[in-house]
């Protein structure tokens, strides 16, 4: 009971510290964003040009020039929209997942500062990836409006779905970040795993074209339900099955609590190792 109360008290203290250091967190997010384009002639304009180029390639090149078609969707733009819905949301997932293992290793000096709230580091990475996602997603929504294919109110479902998805990533990402302090191979393993994970997720192909045995394997992948839900929203204006994602929400919360507990237990040893 004493350990449980100590854990809860430490989490409350960390939330207070996050709020107290909110200006620092936001300034670090903005600094990261500017740092990506520092020294380039067009500066942060590249944050708009890059996703515009990607959306153009997937929608116009694939759908119009290569005449790729999606089963059950007669619209010529369907396949490009299908890919964009998956690639953009996967990018949000993979950016956070890929950066998490090095959160503490890259900021070893800051972690040794007694007055520095260590939990700001994963929050900075989360908000930085979210900022990048909002830009590209906003451009994609503008594009759908321009071609008359905006999905309507179901697009609001992206908010809770992405929150649940990123709760999983942040929870397990913190655990990976802690483990990576002691075993630096974790970072490399995650980078390789993400490459395989992409192709085992129905992002560039629909699940319906797969043989039954392969389909059952793909459906074990936890990202499959998220990606297909995003694609159904964009292509068909279809609301997700909230019963299924209610269970995912509980899992995401559990992942966050587990990540916080591992960080709480290992933070002292972690600083010594760094």
Q: What integer pLDDT is reported at residue 224 of this predicted model? A: 93
Q: What integer pLDDT is reported at residue 41 of this predicted model? A: 54
Residue 224: CB partners within 8 Å, gap ≥ 6? Answer: 201, 202, 207, 218
- Helix, strand, or coil (residue 70): strand
Q: What integer pLDDT is reported at residue 5 of this predicted model? A: 62
> Which residues, given as ranges, of the chain have pLDDT below 70?
1-11, 13-14, 17, 35-48, 51, 62-76, 113-116, 272, 274
Q: What integer pLDDT is reported at residue 274 of this predicted model? A: 65
- Cα–Cα distance for residue pair 125/64, rounded to 1 Å: 37
Residues 156-166: tens digit of each pLDDT:
999 999 999 99
Q: What integer pLDDT is reported at residue 78 of this predicted model? A: 80
Q: What integer pLDDT is reported at residue 173 of this predicted model? A: 93
- Helix, strand, or coil (residue 73): strand
Q: What is the DSSP code string of 150-214?
A: ---GGGGGHHHHHHHHHHHHHHHHHHHHHHHHH-THHHHHHHHHHHHHHHTSTTSS-GGGS-HHH
Q: Are 51 and 136 in contact (CB under 8 A)?
A: yes
Q: Taking phi first (over 0 means left), then psi (-120 to 50 degrees means alpha), and beta for anything else, what does residue 221 get?
A: beta
Q: What integer pLDDT is reported at residue 106 of this predicted model? A: 82
Q: What integer pLDDT is reported at residue 141 of this predicted model? A: 92
Q: What integer pLDDT is reported at residue 212 of this predicted model? A: 86
Q: What integer pLDDT is reported at residue 55 of this predicted model? A: 76
- Cα–Cα distance for residue pair 47/210, rounded to 1 Å: 35
Could you tell me where the DSSP H helices lie in 39-151? 46-56, 78-99, 108-111, 120-146
Q: What integer pLDDT is reported at residue 269 of this predicted model? A: 76
Q: What integer pLDDT is reported at residue 165 of this predicted model? A: 96
DSSP 37: H
Tokens of 175: 């655990």
Backbone angles phi, psi at 73, to 5 degrees: -120, 110
Backbone angles phi, psi at 70, to 5 degrees: -105, 130
Q: What integer pLDDT is reported at residue 175 of this predicted model? A: 92
DSSP 240: P
Smallest CA-to-CA distance from 226 within 175, 157, 172 is with 157
User: For residue 177, how far is the Cα from the chain centroid?
Assistant: 16
- Cα–Cα distance for residue pair 84/94, rounded to 1 Å: 15
């Amino acid at each position: 009971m004493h350990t449980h109360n100590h854990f809860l008290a430490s989490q409350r203290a960390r939330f207070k510290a996050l709020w107290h250091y909110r200006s620092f967190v936001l300034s670090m997010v903005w600094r990261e964003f500017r740092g990506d384009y520092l020294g380039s002639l067009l500066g942060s304009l590249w944050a708009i040009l890059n996703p515009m180029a990607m959306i153009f390639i997937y929608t116009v090149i694939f759908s119009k020039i290569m005449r790729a078609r999606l089963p059950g969707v007669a619209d010529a733009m369907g396949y490009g929209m299908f890919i964009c819905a998956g690639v953009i949301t996967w990018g949000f997932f993979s950016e956070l997942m890929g950066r998490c293992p090095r959160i503490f290793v890259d900021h070893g000096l800051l972690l040794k500062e007694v007055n520095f709230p260590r939990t700001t580091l994963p929050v900075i990475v989360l908000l930085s990836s979210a900022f990048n996602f909002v830009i590209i997603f906003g451009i994609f929504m503008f594009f759908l409006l321009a071609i008359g294919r905006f999905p309507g109110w179901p697009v609001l479902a992206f908010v809770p779905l992405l929150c649940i998805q990123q709760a999983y990533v942040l929870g397990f990402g913190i655990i990976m970040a802690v483990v990576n302090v002691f075993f630096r191979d974790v970072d490399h393993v995650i980078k390789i795993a993400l490459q395989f994970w992409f192709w085992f997720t129905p992002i560039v192909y629909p699940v319906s074209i797969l043989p039954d045995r392969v389909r059952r394997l793909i459906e074990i992948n936890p990202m499959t339900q998220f990606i297909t839900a995003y694609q159904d929203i964009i292509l068909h204006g279809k609301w997700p099955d909230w019963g299924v994602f209610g269970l995912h929400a509980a899992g995401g919360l559990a992942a966050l609590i587990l990540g916080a507990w591992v960080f709480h237990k290992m933070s002292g040893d972690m600083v010594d190792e760094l």
